[in-house]
Amino acid sequence: MEFNYTPQQLMFREVVRDFAKREVEPIAAEIDENSRFPWETVKKMAKMGLFGITVSREFGGAGCDYITYMIAVEEISKVCASTCGIIAAVNSLACWPIDYYGTEEQKKKYLIPMSHGEKLGAFGLTEPEAGSDAFAQRTIAEDKGDHYLLNGNKIFISGGDVADTHIIFAKLVTRRGKRGRMCAFIVEKAFDGFSVGVKEKKMGIRASGTAELVMQDVKVPKENLLGRVGQGFEIAMATLDGGRIGIAAQALGIAQGSLDVAIKYSKERKQFGHAIARLQAIQWMIADIATDVEAARLLTYKAAYLKNEGKPFGTEAAMAKLYASEACERAATKALQIHGGYGYMKDYPVERYFRDSKITQIYEGTSEIQRLVIATNILKG
Ligand code: COS
């Protein structure tokens, strides 16, 4: 058993950690407060190759392994979960499905600009009636001979307001008029009939946009079908399997960030004549957070390792996301408690970590869905 990062992974971690400290942390509170999408950081992250981390160099990516990708997510999330969400959505939910299921032409046209960070991507699966029940899609696609015609709307789409390239899931209407097989399509924001609807006002990850996508008679060229007709559900599930490791790493980053600020504050804050870090009540909370963080890290990197090795990893990804997101919420809650009244104020980042932590238990499959996936996989084995 090996628990070491490679020298390259360690070097990469130093570079991203330094970048996060210098460029991301100083504006994290401001972009959260104003719900402002940090375009300036997107440009800098693009230069660093953070948008196509696991994509091969041939298609504009950095050609790194999945563990390296998770290191980037963890390090950026430690200081700003919103900024981390931007790279996680593009890498896991937009680049990966095109990289894995796309044709050579689709990769050249859509993957290269996304990997370069010149264009952003989003994943349009969720609908008002299709949340956890992802198969209950109401968006429909009609085969019109030389193109598909898409109608429907998607909600809660991460990065939906800023993305140029959308992976859209829809059910193909069959000849007999039945809503049939689910398909995935690559849809450009510039296509006629495609528009961004409501932009959500959120409790956390406020600097990364979450929006509704509206499709009214959107003509999608035949060559923009991703994978085969009827392969849409598989593409959605396989994409989410990988995406869930990314959310586990995001949760891990928020939890580590919460631990870091809790340690710092507990050494500075004096009550009863000495630093509160000397109080056992505080020490126990710090010990609990640190243990949770370590367990979350092991599960997250194990899932990433399995994915990298090309081994089955769906169960481990669900376990990593379940544990890391629950640990993240516990960590942020305890870290805020350690800060006392100051933790409830916006003057300290722990208030933001507390708000940001919650989404990790919800998106890319709720904790309840992760339990369902884990139990189903274990029981069928
Ligand atoms: N990878 C590839 N294929 C998969 C898969 C996976 N991880 N999981 C399921 N499939 C395939 C199955 O093999 C099955 O194929 P066949 O019909 O050919 O046998 C098909 O998909 C249906 O699978 P299943 O019966 O398990 O699907 P269910 O409808 O029971 O639901 C859950 C599966 C609930 C797990 C799924 O709907 C889900 O993950 N929901 C949460 C969605 C989500 O995360 N939403 C967040 C949106 S993104 S922010």
CATH code where residue 321 lies: 1.20.140.10
Question: Which of 175-179, 199-203, 268-272, 276-280 shows the lowest per-residue confidence on average (mean pLDDT)?
Answer: 175-179
CA of 137 to the centre of ligand 1 (A): 13
The whole-angstrom separation of Cα 358 and Cα 377 is 26
Global confidence as pTM: 0.96
pLDDT at 178 over 80: no
> Is 59 domain-assigned?
yes
- Interval 25-37 mean pLDDT: 98
Per the prediction, the chain carries an average pLDDT of 97
Q: Which atom of ligand 1 is nearest to the CA of 133?
A: 37
Q: Which of 132, 137, 228, 233 to mutate to test the pocket of ligand 1 (most atoms within 8 A of CB)?
A: 233
- 175 confidence band (pLDDT: 50, 70, 90): confident
Amino acid identity for residue 286 in this structure: I
> Which residues, 6 or more positions from 314, have their beta carbon under 8 angstroms from its beta carbon?
241, 373, 377
Nearest to 308 by CA among 91, 62, 66: 66
Same domain, 278 and 374: yes
The number of angstroms, rounded, from the C-alpha of 53 to the middle of its chain's C-alpha atoms is 14
Q: Which atom of ligand 1 is nearest to the CA of 314?
A: 7
Which structural domain, as residue segments, surrounds residue 84? 7-120
Same domain, 254 and 337: yes
Q: Which atom of ligand 1 is nearest to the CA of 372?
A: 35
> Is 146 domain-assigned?
yes
> Is 34 domain-assigned?
yes
What share of the chain in percent tops pLDDT 90? 97
The whole-angstrom separation of Cα 310 and Cα 323 is 23
What share of the chain in percent tops pLDDT 70? 99
Nearest CA, atom 44, ligand 1: 365
Q: Find the residues whose C-beta lies inside 6 A of ligand 1.
A: 125-126, 132, 134-135, 233-234, 237-238, 240-241, 314, 363-365, 369, 372-373
- Our count of domains for the chain comes to 3
Report the CATH number that the domain containing residue 82 is assigned in CATH: 1.10.540.10
42-76 pLDDT per residue, tens? 999 999 999 999 999 999 999 999 999 999 999 99
Same domain, 100 and 220: no
Q: Which are the catalytic amino acids? A: 364
C-alpha distances out from residue 69 to 243, 269, 293, 310, 369, Å = 11, 36, 18, 16, 24
Nearest CA, atom 40, ligand 1: 132
Question: Which of 58-67, 175-184, 304-313 shows the lowest per-residue confidence on average (mean pLDDT)?
Answer: 175-184
Sign of the CA dihedral with 265 first, then 266, 270, and 275 last: negative
